[in-house]
Amino acid sequence: MDFIILLATLIILTETTLLLVKTSQKPLLNNSQKRKVYVDTSALMDVRLLAIAETGFISDDVVIPRSVIHELQLLADGKDSEKRARARAALDTVSDLERVVFFNLTILDDPLDRTPVDNRLLELAKSSRGAILTNDFNLNKVATVEHVDVLNINDLALALRGDYLPGEQAQVRIVAVGEGAHQGVGYLADGTMVVVDRADDKVGSEITIEFVRLRQTSAGRMMFAKLANVPAAKVRAGGSGTARLTSVASKTSTARPVSVPSRSRAAGPTRSHPTTKTSRATKATKISPRRAKSQ
């Protein structure tokens, strides 16, 4: 009995220790207080940030320091045309984010000293136990080493990416006939519908397909594919065109040869054929005895 009590006490002590460790790693926020997310220059240059904010998935307090806007202004006035265009688009994104409903955006008036922007973001995130929203690979690594939470738009896009891309192959079981002609319908492991061309006769069988394109809508995701063992050129081209070319070639080969017109006199003197000289000589030999008799 004492052993059971001791074992239960050890389990409770272990769970309490784990809870304390997890609580120390999380920000010490009240129920009414939200986490602050400090936005980097690279994140503002990403056009996907505005689309993510409009969906309402970011519920934290987003903070853009004045030093970040100042860095965008310097890039917008710079000589590099590509960075200048991206910086100007980022400044427009800041003004658009202020109009997004259910998106709490604050412009922090921090001092514009010689402190690098990346160091300023790390200091702000550490002091408020917040996070950094950035696409900068090096800043991501430094923040991870200093135990600062990082939100990366590229990581979000990678997490939302499908398991298959156009050109890849997979095994799919056709379960029904599609609405279009010669279409079969199957489903991937994650529930994504796959419409396979020329698979209406494959219902109930598992086939190898090759993905052609992806269609993403608010209603869901759908992929279109074709049979992997049948080339698209062979299926769509058909044999009628080949037969037609063959028939034309056969007609051309069996046609009568076209007569070539004789050469005109203006083209120059023509050589007499050797046969004409021999015929004249034989004619002269036949006439010569008669002339001798008359004489």
Residue 99: Cβ within 10 Å count:
9
Q: What is the pLDDT of residue 115?
A: 87
Percent pLDDT > 70 in the chain is: 73
Q: What is the pLDDT of residue 23?
A: 54
Q: What is the pLDDT of residue 21?
A: 59
In this structure, which topology does domain 35-160 adopt according to CATH? Rossmann fold (3.40.50)
How open is the CA angle 68-73-75, to the nearest 5 degrees?
A: 95
pLDDT per position in the chain (295 positions), as tens? Answer: 777 888 888 888 887 876 675 555 444 444 457 899 999 999 999 999 999 999 888 889 999 999 999 999 999 999 999 999 999 999 999 999 999 988 899 999 988 888 899 999 999 999 999 999 999 999 999 999 999 999 999 999 988 887 888 889 999 999 999 988 889 999 998 888 999 999 999 899 999 999 999 888 777 889 999 998 755 444 333 333 333 323 333 343 444 444 444 444 444 444 444 444 444 444 444 444 444 444 4
Query: Where does 169-230 sit in CATH, by number?
Result: 2.40.50.140
pTM over 0.75: no
> Which tens digit of pLDDT belongs to each residue from 181-194?
889 999 998 888 99
What is the bridge-based pairing of β-strands 220-227 and 105-108?
unpaired
> Which tens digit of pLDDT belongs to each residue from 225-272?
999 875 544 433 333 333 332 333 334 344 444 444 444 444 444 444
Bridge partners of 108? 65
Rg of the chain in Å (alpha carbons): 42
Residue span(s) of the chain under CATH 3.40.50.1010 come to: 35-160
> Which tens digit of pLDDT belongs to each residue from 53-62?
998 888 899 9
Residue span(s) of the chain under CATH 2.40.50.140 come to: 169-230
